Chains A and B, each alone.
Chain A
Amino acid sequence: MNRLSPFNVISLTFGFAFLYLPMLILVIYSFNKSKLVTVWAGFSTKWYGELLSNDAFLDAAWVTLKVAVISSSIATVLGTMAAYTLVRGGRFFGRTLFSGMIYAPLVMPEVITGLSLLLLFIGVGMDRGVMTIVLAHTTFSMCFVSVVVSSRLATFDRSLEEAALDLGASPFEAFRLITLPIIAPAVVSGWLLAFTLSLDDLVIASFATGPSATTLPMKIWSSVRLGVSPEINALSSILIGLVASGVIIASLISKRHSVRIQQEERAAGRFENN
């Protein structure tokens, strides 16, 4: 293997420092004994303990989790259906318009999405709370799911569905027994994407919520305006840990899976001409 040249070492160092230094500092200061965020006074885990007894944060975390699970699940169902129709539905009137419209929220400024949802909720006289945040998050994360799923469907061998139909499966059975299990990884990653987006959304949730529901990002934002506390650092460190381990586990699983398939295919090659 080639050794890294000095130039490569420098660019690697700078790149990673740029990406991870802020987070590293945050994690280090979460173990700070001092109440002052910027002054180091020795190692301590007391802020993590205090976090667990802070009901406001725990409530907000619970609301966030509820919203994320429900909205990403609804978004996955709707987004998969939309992707299937747009990729498989054949030609119908306005198809190009529809596929353009489904991607529009990807580039729409969040403030505008949030504002228009707020106007809608007021217009139909809906009480704002967990329910409206769920609806709002479903709206904007659905298009991310549909992008992920439709790119998988575009490379999906159509003859697999045809083979299922040919063998006597109804169109719905063909989807449930053949298409869905095969595109499942894309659907799952769509769900994860929607879940993450919902987890860290601040702008749209602020527009869509009422006094009864506060999400974690909103809670953090409002506390930070009163000054950064070590508790926030601890909370953020937990979030970083959760997200990082999720990403690592997911990539390990998919890496293992592809390595296993490669090995099995190589083994199968030896049976050729049997």
Chain B
Amino acid sequence: MVETVFAPWDDPNTAPLISFKNVTKRFGDFVAIDDLSLDIFEREFFALLGPSGCGKTTMMRMLAGFENPTSGSMSLSGRDIAGIPPNKRAVNMMFQSYALFPHLSVWENIAFGLRRDGVAKDVLNARVEEMLKLTRLEKFGRRKPHQISGGQRQRVALARSLAKAPKLLLLDEPLGALDKKLRQDTQFELMDIQEQTGTTFVIVTHDQEEAMTVASRVAVMDEGRIIQVATPEKIYEAPNSVYVADFIGDVNILTGPVKAIGADTYSLNFGGKEPVTAACDRTFTEGETTHLAIRPEKIGIHAERPDGPNAVQGKVLDIAYLGNLSTYHVQLPSGQIIKAQTANTRRISRRAFTWEDPVWVSWSATAGVLLDQ
């Protein structure tokens, strides 16, 4: 059986669930969202990722209806939603603070939205019970929000926002208040629930690991603009700019003029003894300043000069032992520092390298990405 890959964004015939067209939002002189266009598809788990103040929360508040765009258009299932108040939208939101109603029980919190719609009593009861079951809160229905733990509150907030079966669920830093271990468990729980309900999720987060774990696509934002939208793999392996490469994970950036030395192969003079070569299917003009981005785990560290195109000598400046991984900071004669990471596949009895050791770092021609900005 051939498993079909979930990628509606590659299919030009799929109509998007949400569509932003040239949306701009200003608060006085401050431009929060700058001429932004974006499509989000049904059943997607979409992550808006960026540093604080990049406009990701404003995007979410516009989707929920708490803010209106200054210009441009926003549509949900093909219908323009600009100007529709939040209580008239088939969109629900899970708030960062959870915003549970403190004077209502867990059961009543979940029932709140259904009651506003005047749902029949037996349907309402069944739906609330279903939500309690989905979030494993059956035992806590009669408790008040202050009588349950932080992780349980988070699940109540999720159950409440899913109760009305919205077309779109917005999650504003949903796991920010949980400790690390609980957060990781909850990430998988969120993915399960998203799959079970088939709801489109849009999550706002500043935690890149979280975005990579849960999302089908990630949008990296900066200063009100989207820098790149792609699957987590593409964002990590093929970033379109130094900003994205640097924001997601760890990266080494070598900068200098390039020269074409073959079909889709360039040599980059980054200021070391010899230029390095990099494969790239984009075209650069000779002498153009470019940036080569290489992830530390794609760089090998050796005692002797290895065979291969890119080998640079330096000395070990720092070693970070992380348990599963070790990161070596290797200083080149030119002063640049290259980070190389090795997996500790064996239990270490002695280190292969130590501080001040002269070492060679090397990587293949396809290990890095050449970027023009």
Contacts and interface: CB of A to CB of B under 8 A. Distances in A.
Interface of A: 157, 159-160, 162-171, 173, 177-178, 181-182, 261, 264-265, 267-269, 271-274
Contact of B97 (A159, A182, A268, A272): A159
Interface stretch (B110-118, B201-209, B255-263): B110-118
A167 B147 contact: no
Contacts of A273: 149, 151, 181-182
Contacts of A267: 147
B86 A157 contact: no
B203 to A, nearest CB: 16
Contacts of B146: 261, 264-265, 268
B329 interface: no
A168 B117 contact: yes
B99 A162 contact: yes
A165 B97 contact: no
A55 to B, nearest CB: 46
B70 interface: no
B92 interface: yes
Contact of B116 (A173, A181, A264): A173
Contact of A163 (B85, B93, B147, B149): B93
Majority SS at the chain A contact face: helix
Given A162-B95, A272-B150, A274-B149, A167 B113 contact: yes
B87 interface: yes
A170 B87 contact: yes
A269 B64 contact: no
Contact of A271 (B102, B103, B117, B149): B149
B325 interface: no
A173 B115 CA distance: 11
Given A160-B99, A178-B101, A167 B151 contact: no
25 contacts: A157-B97, A159-B96, A159-B97, A160-B101, A162-B95, A163-B93, A165-B65, A165-B85, A165-B86, A166-B65, A166-B87, A166-B161, A171-B87, A173-B116, A261-B146, A264-B144, A264-B147, A268-B143, A268-B148, A268-B152, A269-B149, A272-B149, A272-B151, A273-B149, A274-B151
B355 interface: no
B183 to A, nearest CB: 12
Given A159-B95, A167-B164, A168-B116, 10 more contacts: A162-B95, A163-B93, A163-B160, A164-B101, A167-B112, A167-B113, A169-B112, A170-B87, A265-B147, A268-B149
Interface of B: 64-66, 85-87, 91-93, 95-97, 99, 101-103, 112-113, 116-117, 143-144, 146-152, 160-161, 164, 181-182
Contacts of A168: 87, 113, 116-117, 164
Contacts of B113: 167-168
Contacts of B151: 272-274
A164 B64 CA distance: 12
A122 B95 CA distance: 55
A217 to B, nearest CB: 38
Nearest to B153: A268
Contacts of B161: 166-167
A204 to B, nearest CB: 37
A159 B99 CA distance: 6
Contact of B64 (A166, A182, A271): A166
A274 B93 CA distance: 25
A177 B108 CA distance: 12
A159 B242 CA distance: 36
Nearest to A163: B99
Contacts of A178: 101
Contacts of A159: 95-97, 99
Contact of A182 (B85, B103, B144): B103
**What 9 A-B pairs have minimum CB-CB distances, sorted nearest first?**
A167-B113, A168-B116, A163-B99, A159-B99, A272-B149, A165-B86, A271-B149, A159-B95, A264-B147
Nearest to A173: B116
A164 B100 CA distance: 10
B174 to A, nearest CB: 13
Nearest to A184: B103
Nearest to A181: B103
A261 to B, nearest CB: 6
Most B-side CB within 10 Å, residue of A163, A165, A264: A163
B117 to A, nearest CB: 6
B153 to A, nearest CB: 9
B182 A164 contact: no
A153 to B, nearest CB: 15
A173 B86 CA distance: 13
Contacts of A167: 87, 92, 112-113, 116, 160-161, 164
A169 to B, nearest CB: 5
A170 B92 CA distance: 15
A164 B161 CA distance: 11
Contacts of B102: 182
Nearest to B95: A159
A171 B116 CA distance: 12
Nearest to B150: A272
A273 B116 CA distance: 33
A88 to B, nearest CB: 14
Given A167-B164, A181-B103, A162 B149 contact: no
B102 to A, nearest CB: 7
B155 to A, nearest CB: 10
A170 B101 CA distance: 16
Contacts of B96: 159
A157 to B, nearest CB: 6
